[in-house]
Structure 1
């Protein structure tokens, strides 16, 4: 049976707090061990509890110190090659969203132009269109013609390759 959500707040009872600390610390150590094995990465953990007055390190103090030394011996630009701060994370997300927005706007514009062309086919007079609609329709039509010509050229090229391969 699944456990319910744990309320994250300060544990007032000192013994319960110590028990939760030890249990969670062991859980983190187990997960770190699994991560190092499964992904072949170097990792260390350091715990400082004001109650214990000593630092607990995983896997060992010597290995953790050597990993810290190795990290701090790198040049600052090498340390931060893959590091992401909040600002760059948000900027990357903004760029992704703006790209999706541009793609969505393009699709909407294509649907609008298809609808406009359909209206013209069923009898809507050209005089009803605004200058902006006419300009968009011309651009859309030209892009469609270029796209169709490319598709036609590609198919002709593929047909030539198929027919020459049958001759061999």
Structure 2
């Protein structure tokens, strides 16, 4: 039988609460050791029992002197260094929004490039005879795409005829062929 999920609320029964605290403390200490070993980072854990704890009841990992040394190094760091990686809810949301905006900009750029390539293809196969009504940006994109295609074709011809440049080490035909295949799929 699968274990039942424990509700996240204060355990009212004193002995049950102390047993849960003991078991979970051992689990946290084990995870701290694993984190330190696997990732090579400094980790310390301090668990204070409820009420007025004495130093004998306090549990520390890896040891009290090592944990004290880590805390002292943390306190000695400038405030700016300590807070550098901290993030509250608002910072997290701002970061996620920034990443989403960057993804949107990349998708829009890719979309514009595909639309431009499709316009060039339409003009090449005769489906579009005029470029009237296009914006300056769209015309610039068509010019850039056309120049790139012409350069790829020239590189391919030069490579095949043995007059390739020193920087061209592989046959450029596969990239030209991929462009042609993409155009054919659009028909």
TM-score by shorter chain over 0.5: yes
| Map of 2:127 onto structure 1 | 123
Residues 150, 20 of structure 1: alpha-carbon distance in 2 compared, 3 angstrom cutoff:
farther
How far, CA to CA, are the matches of 1:159 and 1:66 in structure 2?
57
User: CA-atom RMSD, angstroms?
Assistant: 3.2
Measured after TM superposition, the shift of residue 125 of structure 1 is 5.3
Q: Structure 1 length as normaliser, TM-score?
A: 0.72
Find the residue that maps to 1:12 and give its secondary structure: coil
Return 5+ residue gaps in structure 1 as ranges.
Answer: 163-168
| Map of 1:39 onto structure 2 | 39
Measured after TM superposition, the shift of residue 24 of structure 1 is 0.5
Q: Structure 2 length as normaliser, TM-score?
A: 0.66
Higher relative contact order (Cα pairs below 8 Å, separated by 6+ residues): 2
| Map of 1:109 onto structure 2 | 112
Determine whether 1:68 maps to 2:71: yes
Instruction: Determine which of 81, 84, 87 is the counterpart of 1:85.
Output: 87
CA contact (8 A) 2:11 2:17 kept: yes
Measured after TM superposition, the shift of residue 30 of structure 1 is 0.8
Within 5 Å, give how 1:3-42 maps onto structure 2. 3-42=3-42
| Map of 1:143 onto structure 2 | 144
| Map of 2:102 onto structure 1 | 99
Return 5+ residue gaps in structure 2 as ranges.
Answer: 171-187
CA contact (8 A) 2:36 2:43 kept: yes
Larger helix fraction of residues? 1
Find the residue that maps to 2:165 and give its secondary structure: helix
What is the count of residue pairs matched by the alignment? 158
| Map of 2:165 onto structure 1 | 157
Determine whether 1:56 maps to 2:59: yes
Residues 116, 142 of structure 1: alpha-carbon distance in 2 compared, 3 angstrom cutoff:
closer
Measured after TM superposition, the shift of residue 28 of structure 1 is 0.5
Measured after TM superposition, the shift of residue 106 of structure 1 is 1.3
Q: Deviations over 1:107-143 (max 9, x none)?
A: 222233344445554534538x5343xx343121122
